[in-house]
Amino acid sequence: MKPRRIVSTFACAALLCALGACSKPAPPEKERPVDPQATQMRDAIQQPIEQAKSVEGAVDQGAQQTRDAIDAAGG
């Protein structure tokens, strides 16, 4: 073989190897929602808040009855 032919064959082989190594990147995985990790802490914080909200109506009603009683007594 002639040296020129060897060089061109080697150049073609190197070019094919380089092109073969350059492949399309893999698409990223679909995003999935994060699993809640602090549910116990959140529940411990939310429980007294929910309890207060549930008795808020009774407290407001009692306050209104007290105001009505004061107004009825002439105060």
- Whether residue 36 lies inside any domain: the answer is no
**Model pTM score:** 0.39
- Whether residue 24 lies inside any domain: the answer is no
Residue 64's pLDDT band (cuts 50, 70, 90):
very high
- Whether residue 73 lies inside any domain: the answer is yes
- Whether residue 4 lies inside any domain: the answer is no
- Whether residue 9 lies inside any domain: the answer is no
Domain region containing 60:
41-75
- Whether residue 53 lies inside any domain: the answer is yes
Q: How far is CA 11 from CA 1, 4, 8, 20, 67, in A?
A: 15, 10, 5, 14, 97
- Whether residue 52 lies inside any domain: the answer is yes
Number of domains in the chain: 1
Phi, psi angles (nearest 5°) of residue 74: 90, 20
For 6, counting Cβ atoms within 10 Å of its Cβ (0-12 exposed, 13-18 middle, 19+ buried), the class is exposed
- Whether residue 22 lies inside any domain: the answer is no
State mean pLDDT over 2-8: 83
Q: Report the pLDDT value the prediction gives residue 42, as an integer from 0 to 100.
A: 87
36 CB-near residues (< 8 Å, 6+ apart): 42
State mean pLDDT over 9-30: 80
pLDDT at 66 over 80: yes
Distance of CA 52 to the CA centre of its chain: 29
